[in-house]
Structure 1
Amino acid sequence: MATVNHRALTSWVGIARLLAIVLSCLAFSLVASTGDFGGSYGTWCMFTWCFCFSVTLLVLLVELLELYPMLPLSWDDFTSAFSMLAALMVFTSSVVFPATFINSPCNTSYCARQAVATTASCLCFLAYAVEVGLTRAKPGDISSFLSTVPGLLKVFEAYVACLIFSLLDEYGKEPGLMWCVAVYSICFIFTFLIIIFTIGRCLTYIPCSLEKVLVGYNFLALIMYITATVIWPLYSFRGRGRPQNCGRSCSWDRHLGVTFLTIFNLIAYLVDLVYSTRMVFIRTPP
């Protein structure tokens, strides 16, 4: 008979998860009641709230019944990676949904439900952010890699790469842009594999120092992103001004979004390299 771990509900982490469950449920319920969530942006927001609600509820039940020791994965790494991913996804939805669906002035009950849903989504993001802060590994504690700053940055880097892929448009005619897409793809694949192998406890079988491998990878990824940061805007905007009739799916705006996201990931890989190097020095005896 499974034991019940009441601390899964009464601890600060448990309370943050409960709030995330309630707020994500409130967000998608209110939006569903309006019936206005069509298109790719609305579908993404609804998927985000439903996905985060379902997985967080599952995490809470597994911890409540203490079933995680039977799972063939690193539970701490999984929950750390998920809370970081959920925070990023909900934050994106909290920005995308009101920008896409709420019109000014907002003076109808229909719009009020959308506004309350947006508020619930913002509070849900804060709940996940609190969980990330509470479960983040303390300095010197490397028992759970994905709860450390480099581990959380891996989730951030993979998520930003996914956002870049969603904005890619008209890059096949320029070799420079094709190189940038190759950079995004290669770095995403390796970062994603690091996350999956860490959760699956596969990295323990690597016959060399994991920290040194990560330092080498982060250095190469940083160099590659430096080239993409220079080449992408050079080939995207050379001789091209913003069209006057540039709508929501305008190619020029998409390329601008990729430019900013590339810079974000460049900064993330730089910080990741610094922290990974520090971890090597912590692990290496004097």
Structure 2
Amino acid sequence: MPGIVLEARDFASPLFLVRSCEVLFSCTTFSLVTALESSELTKNPLHLQHLPTIKIFCIFTWCFFFTVTLLIHFLSTIQFHSLLPVSWKNLTATVAVLGSLMCLSASVFFPWLIMERQKAWPRPVAATVTSVLTFLAYVSESYVLCSQVQEQKGFMGSLPGLLKIVQLWGGFQVIPLFVEADHGLYNGFHRWQPWVSGMSYGVCILMSLVTMVVILGEFAGRCRLRFDRLMVVFTIIGFLLYMVATVICFNKPLQLINSENKSSELVIMEAVVAFITLLSYTVDLTFSIKILCDRSHT
């Protein structure tokens, strides 16, 4: 029966320290953001027209990873994580790497789209600083976990697992960009493009979530199909869908991209995120095919 661990060496371990920093910084960040007065956020509505979606995305990121990290921190301290029906090493690596990517996005979104061309307000500046510190804390935990030996870090700490996390991040990241960039972009013209892009993003997110659930729940042995081949199929589908979505992103109206409309910046960001995710699918597909070929020759 696991018991509570209160030894001093456990409180001085690198993982304990970085997780404590993650909890502290993320809590401070979303507390500062939610405490912002509405008058401070409406001084220049022309440049804050995309505030609601981006603000919700940032606050959700900080709140979600604060909650998950606090739970992981608590269970790890009292040594009750062995009772959970999940792969603990894969779960911690996933939360650390995904948390670093999502907090990086929030740290870029918040000052760029909210504080752009505004005077320095104390609370938004402080929130940006603590968000960056949260990102650095998750990067530190990711480094500690991924630098362990393969048996300790699990699949999600390896290169193929990291690529899966990048794909999941790309799906989560591109949704608010897609929603805001598409708003008023076509005005009824070429409406098939956002439908195709939205469907592509949605299918890829669903496949990434299924993959994560199977890996974290260690359900691979219960699948009727071979899970490695199923992941190859998912990777091929994701590669093709993101290729289509990336082409659509780079072919959106050029006059909008060259204008001062905030949608032009979001279109560029959507294209960049889609391209990064496409690149991760490309590398993942190469590794998956190589592994299958090596197994077929043995």
TM-score (norm 1): 0.81
Q: Which residue of 2 aligns with 1:25?
A: 27
Name which of 146, 150, 154 aligns with 1:136.
146
SS at match of 1:4: coil
Q: Does 1:82 align with 2:99?
A: no
Q: Can you list the C-alpha shifts for 1:243-272, whole angstroms capped at 9, x where unaligned? A: 887543x3x444333322221111111122
Q: Does 1:165 align with 2:175?
A: yes
Q: Which residue of 2 aligns with 1:150?
A: 160
- Are the equivalent residues in 1 in contact too, given 2:90–2:153 (CA < 8 A)? no
Q: Can you list the C-alpha shifts for 1:58-111, whole angstroms capped at 9, x where unaligned? A: 11110111111221222222222222221122111111111233366756xxx2
Q: Does 1:271 align with 2:283?
A: yes
> Number of residues paired by the alignment?
278
Name which of 104, 126, 131 aligns with 2:136.
126
SS at match of 2:137: helix
Name which of 42, 49, 69 aligns with 2:82.
69
- Are the equivalent residues in 1 in contact too, given 2:257–2:265 (CA < 8 A)? no
Gap change, CA 1:204 and 1:99, over 3 Å in 2: same
Q: Can you list the C-alpha shifts for 1:134-163, whole angstroms capped at 9, x where unaligned? A: 212767659722222222222221221223
- Are the equivalent residues in 2 in contact too, given 1:23–1:124 (CA < 8 A)? yes
Q: Distance in 2 between matches of 1:104 and 1:221?
A: 38
Q: Distance in 1 between matches of 2:218 and 2:134?
A: 30
- Which runs of no fewer than 5 residues in structure 2 stay unpaired? 42-50
SS at match of 1:201: coil
- Are the equivalent residues in 2 in contact too, given 1:9–1:18 (CA < 8 A)? no
Q: Which residue of 2 aligns with 1:4?
A: 4
- Which runs of no fewer than 5 residues in structure 1 stay unpaired? none
Gap change, CA 1:283 and 1:67, over 3 Å in 2: farther
Aligned residue identity for 1:203 = A
- Are the equivalent residues in 2 in contact too, given 1:177–1:232 (CA < 8 A)? no
Aligned residue identity for 1:272 = D
Q: Does 1:98 align with 2:111?
A: yes
Aligned residue identity for 1:28 = F
SS at match of 1:73: coil
Q: Which residue of 1 aligns with 2:243?
A: 226
Aligned residue identity for 1:87 = S
Q: Distance in 1 between matches of 2:123 and 2:256?
A: 35
Aligned residue identity for 1:186 = V
Over the aligned positions, Cα root-mean-square deviation in angstroms equals 3.1
Shift of 1:186: 1.9
Q: Which residue of 1 aligns with 2:46?
A: none
Q: Can you list the C-alpha shifts for 1:17-67, whole angstroms capped at 9, x where unaligned? A: 111112222323333444357733333323322322222111111011111
Gap change, CA 1:51 and 1:162, over 3 Å in 2: closer
Q: Distance in 1 between matches of 2:16 and 2:131?
A: 18
Shift of 1:114: 2.4
